[in-house]
Amino acid sequence: EPHTLPETMTAVRAHRTGGPDVLTPETVPVPSPGEGEALIRVAATGVNFIETYQRSGAYPVEFPAVLGTEASGVVVALGPGDHAVSVGDRVTTASARGAYAEYCLAPSSHLIPVPDGLELELACAASLQGLTAHYLITSVARVEPGQWVLVHAGAGGVGQVAIQLLARLGARVISTASTPEKRELASAAGAEHSIGYEGFADTVRTLTDGRGVSAVLDGVGRATFDDSLRSLDRRGTLALFGAASGPVPPVDPQALNKAGSVTLCRPSLPDFLADPEERRWRAEEVFGPLATGELRVEYSAYPLAEAAAAHTALEGRATTGKTVLTP
Ligand code: NDP
């Protein structure tokens, strides 16, 4: 049925860098889609570390800024040009602009259809972290059945999905997490061993009979990097995909030699979604099992206007699973 677009909407805007309190709900015009763009009525917005970096000034953005690149919702208008989607389609995307809002824009070529029967909120909760876990396992670490893999922050958004996908593949998972409750979640997701961060490289050696793991998925960064290298088996892969504890200082290539001819990759999601065929494949492998309940994604939802509280929780290490905002 036709959707009458309002002229204004609520968006969470920041006018300067700072703490979570710079994120304030304001009334702003509903944006109109440009060439190749879709306007989406937002059902859920994903909260990601990148927005905390943009808000604090670690990653520069132009102010005033409506942050947010991840959203699910319904297409309500299309800009000029050809589109693979239609008004009324249920979609999710990790390529939105200004997603901390009731309406946001995204290139229509970067919209992923949400299968019937899959809730939009859940699809959003699973998008960015699910697709990230998928590309890390299939295309960066290229994990094979039977291999040992170390997943840091196993109760986190990427962590819980990565552990489940690895277990489905037949890999053997060791996970780190900071509290007993978080370690329970990592074990429930399928980790064979859930351990604390303290001395994890030595624990990993012991658990793997001295060999080390074939791959480490490390989104923690500075605090874990050195020991992640030390946890690898010969010719293993360190997938350094984030910096929740801060950025890793410059690395001497010789350190990779010393660690046993290992590979270091610092990947980012857009490079693994650029090809439409590849994007479809990854989406199918995440949303297929999500729709049937074989893949479970835990998330907490905050009202859009409380985006600041969501940032405080994410930065304060207080979340498990994914965090989303709902208008
Ligand atoms: P998480 O849900 O995993 O939250 C981060 C977790 O990191 C925390 O819950 C915490 O778990 C752990 N952590 C360790 N040290 C700290 C610290 N000092 N401050 C805060 N958290 C800490 O987040 P996401 O799943 O959303 O993202 C994980 C990482 O992946 C982030 O760094 C993010 O930027 C990155 N990312 C990268 C992508 C890419 O393509 N490169 C795409 C998506 C995300 P615990 O308490 O158990 O240690």
**Confidence bin at 2 (pLDDT 50/70/90):** low
Q: What is the pLDDT of residues 188-210, one digit of tens each?
A: 999 999 999 999 999 999 999 99
- CB atoms near residue 66 (< 10 Å): 18
Enumerate domains of the chain plus CATH numbers.
8-126+289-326 (3.90.180.10), 144-265 (3.40.50.720)
243 C-alpha to ligand 1 centroid (Å): 7
Closest CA to 159 of 243, 246, 219: 219
pLDDT reading at 213 higher than 90 = yes
Any atom of ligand 1 within 6 Å of the Cβ of 159 = yes
Q: Which bin fits 81, alpha (ψ -120 to 50), beta or left (φ > 0)?
A: left
pLDDT of residue 3: 66
Whole-prediction pTM: 0.96
User: Which whole-number Å values give the CA distances from 199 to 202, 204, 231, 244, 264, in the listed order?
Assistant: 6, 9, 10, 19, 21
Q: What is the pLDDT of residues 150-198, one digit of tens each?
A: 999 999 999 999 999 999 999 999 999 999 999 999 999 999 999 999 9
SS3 content of the chain, % helix, strand, coil (to 5): 35, 25, 40
32 C-alpha to ligand 1 centroid (Å): 33
pLDDT of residue 4: 86
Evaluate whether ipTM surpasses 0.85.
yes
Any atom of ligand 1 within 6 Å of the Cβ of 219 = yes
